[in-house]
Amino acid sequence: MKQDIILAGVGGQGILTIAFMLDSAALARGYRIKQAEVHGMAQRGGAVYSHLRFADSEILSDLIPAGQADMILSVEPLEVQRYLPYLHRNAVVVSSVHPFKNIPDYPEEKAVLDALLELPRAVLVDARQIATAHKMPRAENMAMLGAALPFLPFELADFDPFIRAQFERKGEAVVQSNMAVLAQGFRTGMAVKERLDAGMPADVAFRETHPNP
């Protein structure tokens, strides 16, 4: 078993938290891991990314070679485009639908999403709606993590102790809300995965799972 994941987004979207959750769950399952540092602009709005690799055998490098990534997990849709050359043929892209317009010439939003939906295994998620429905508007990263889990060798319960470790200082309500956001993201990701596995095009799968995009 081997998983090579590129995490992407912009500063302030919680990429480090996603990395912490995946690293912790992988170690708890006994996998070996390597993770490149999160690179990019540290301030809010600057592009950031990281390579995350875990496997049940030795991993020699913390960098994913071009053409070998199993997944791009992005909290910002345009950022996906930077890393498409890393994907192998059957890889999956899991991305938020909401742009973070941190450049003056950001492309038209529909064009950005349409380009992603042309990919054979694209999972687009309204992470903002999921997070705000649970009164956790800053938890879009947890919704995106949840949406990626159907494609990874984990279960929701694997993340309970690490969500608690990350958020318990903010109170039990915050812990439970983050768990709920993760679970809703998981259900959305699973619904899309089932449709993709059945041969449905990504754009149709998105429309069926997001009737009011």
- For the chain, give percent helix, strand, coil, nearest 5: 45, 20, 35
Structural domains of the chain ordered from first start: 2-209 (3.40.920.10)
The span from the CA of 9 to the CA of 94, in Å, is 12
| Helical H segments across the chain, by residue range | 15-28, 80-83, 109-117, 127-133, 140-148, 160-167, 172-197, 202-209
Mind listing the pLDDT tens digit for each residue in 150-193?
999 999 999 999 999 999 999 999 999 999 999 999 999 999 99
Amino acid 43: pLDDT: 54
The closest of 203, 1, 22, 4 to 116, measured between CA atoms, is 203
Dihedral (CA of 190, 194, 195, 196) sign:
positive
Q: Which residues of the chain have pLDDT under 70?
A: 37-45, 213
Decide if 14 contacts 140 (C-beta within 8 A): yes
